[in-house]
Chain A
Amino acid sequence: MNHIDELFKQGLEGANVTPPPGVFEQCISQLNAQPMDVVEGLKVFSKASKGWLGLWSKVAIGIGTGVLAVTAIVVAVVNSQGDGKNQVNRVELQSEDGQTDVIAMDSEDNANGGESRDRSVNGLIENAGVVGDAVKGGGALQEREEVPNGKGNLPTNGEFREKVGSSMSGDFNSGLDLSGNGFREDGLTTGMAVGRKNGLREVSPCGNHRALWRPVISENVGGLVSLDLEGNFGKIGIDWGDGLGGEVIENRGSMEKVSHAYWVERNRNFRIKLVHAMPVKKMDCGVIWCKDSQWLTLQVSPSNEASVVSVPDVFTPNGDGLNETFYVEMAKPLSYEITILDAKQRTVFRSNDYTEVWTGICGNRECDEANYRVILAYKYSGDKEWKYIRKSIKLLRNTINNIQN
């Protein structure tokens, strides 16, 4: 070993340097700081979709041989002034071994339910699929569907106790009835009483982090599907449901957009599964990956039914600002080729880009007022063969004369 290396290694390996004062306190305040993005995320969603508030959650729990259906009223108690006092009320089951599973989770961020296992520190999103989604709230989002999950992460033996606890604030606002079902105080009051009697106060830190995101289908034409992931999320794994794999999207801003091309020959339904994982710190130490999932079902249609291809009859490249260019109105195809011929069958325009327009220029001069032949070939998802449209179009320059004529 080089003597310089040795000298420094001996002198500095494990060297202690007294740190400046106050760093520990700064660590603690950093750890305890309420992440602003979570609060902002809540606000965004309370504005965006009121339907997320007040959802019924149902869960069927098998106990021994019998099946007990527990219906938990869900009331979101979110301080509408947004002063940070978000309250979350929870219904939890606790077995004798102390293992707690949340079976219902209210607050407006309950749209998807799906409590992650608190004890899991496995941050791999690939494994998120095994997380038991005990509760599925009916979503207000279009195309969301409830998916029962039989993964059985609820304890199946021992004595169960129901409890309702509230996190983050002891200020319980029972005056709100966001469920719209008139079923609020009785259930909650009972729950609270039981909770107090048993002295159970364990609260999962996942509470405020769930369902701050949502997937929105922004485009679904001819097999091309675009999905917007809105809100606050960590990582989202997407299984497109067509057996062609998936992808993991990380949140880099407020919204991520992701697209996928389906290949269908007839109308087909696909179920997209989205698994969300977000690291959340516990009260004092440690971090857990809170996971939840959402499903979307969408119908994908092949091109011939999904898209309308419109070839205009006339265009007028005369500088009056109206119909100056010729283009085909259609959704984005997978393949495209357009050829425009003049009366002598000479090609005056050709393009493979469906967004490119013809301005009425033939070579290096303006085209004559005449009829032109358009040959359009295109393919959408599911098209085995090229589709063709052949049409004669008219190029006019002197529109006033034409009208007068």
Chain B
Amino acid sequence: MTNLSESKEHQLLRECIAGNRSAQQGLYDLFSPAIYGICVRYMGYTDEAKDMLQETMVKFFQKSGEFRFQGSLEGWVKRIAVNTCLDQIKKNKAKYAGSLEEAYDLAGDVNAAQPLETKDLMKLLTTLPTGYRTVFNLYAIEGFTHVEIGEMLGISENTSKSQLFKARKWLQAKLERN
């Protein structure tokens, strides 16, 4: 992200905090595709992903007054998105105990031609069972350590490691099949 666009973010945010509706729309337009991308990565192409987008943006608008105008606004919003998705996953986990290890055969095949494009990778990723997908997202894409992931999800470091291992194996198998 360039300095120019970063200052555009900040400018929009200042206008938004001042009560400018169009600035609010501007911020939404600016961030929503990336945020929705994160939501889909964590929740799959589901209604829940849409709900998480909405919740993230609402949280962002509500908390925008707390932004200190230091660092990347986009990074901040993305962090809200990841946390919002994680909260939802934890809630779901409580509701449907055991679904983290949900059956493999629920996942559909991905018939992607090489080379893999973003949308194919996304499809592939979203076929992962929730537990694997969450850990894989956090470790491989967000770049958290297993210790951090353990704390975020309330699981042990070793569970995080084994989930990541299984996720990779799953993805590898899917890729080879293609």
Contacts and interface: CB of A to CB of B under 8 A. Distances in A.
State yes or no: do A and B come from one complex: yes
Interface of A: 2, 4-5, 7-9, 11-20, 23-24, 26-28, 30-31, 121, 279, 281-288
A342 to B, nearest CB: 56
A121 B37 contact: no
A264 to B, nearest CB: 43
A281 B61 CA distance: 9
B146 interface: no
B17 A286 contact: yes
6 nearest interchain CB pairs? A286-B65, A16-B33, A5-B140, A19-B36, A11-B121, A15-B37
Contact of A31 (B17, B37, B62): B62
Nearest to A123: B66
A45 B106 CA distance: 53
Given A285-B64, A286-B64, 14 more contacts: A4-B171, A8-B141, A9-B141, A11-B122, A12-B122, A13-B141, A15-B122, A16-B33, A17-B36, A19-B35, A19-B53, A24-B32, A26-B54, A27-B54
Interface of B: 16-17, 19-21, 24-25, 28-29, 32-37, 40-41, 50, 53-54, 57-58, 61-66, 116-118, 121-122, 125, 136, 139-141, 168, 171-172, 175
B58 A8 contact: no
B7 to A, nearest CB: 18
Contacts of A17: 33, 36-37, 40, 122
Given A11-B116, A12-B41, A24-B32, A284 B57 contact: no
A284 B24 contact: yes
Interface of B is mostly: helix
Nearest to A26: B54
A287 B65 contact: yes
A237 to B, nearest CB: 20
Given A23-B32, A27-B28, A285 B40 contact: no
Contacts of A15: 34, 37, 41, 118, 122
Contacts of B21: 284
A27 to B, nearest CB: 5
A26 B168 CA distance: 37
B37 A12 contact: yes
B168 A11 contact: no
B117 A27 contact: no
Contacts of B50: 19-20, 23
B116 A7 contact: yes
A143 B17 CA distance: 41
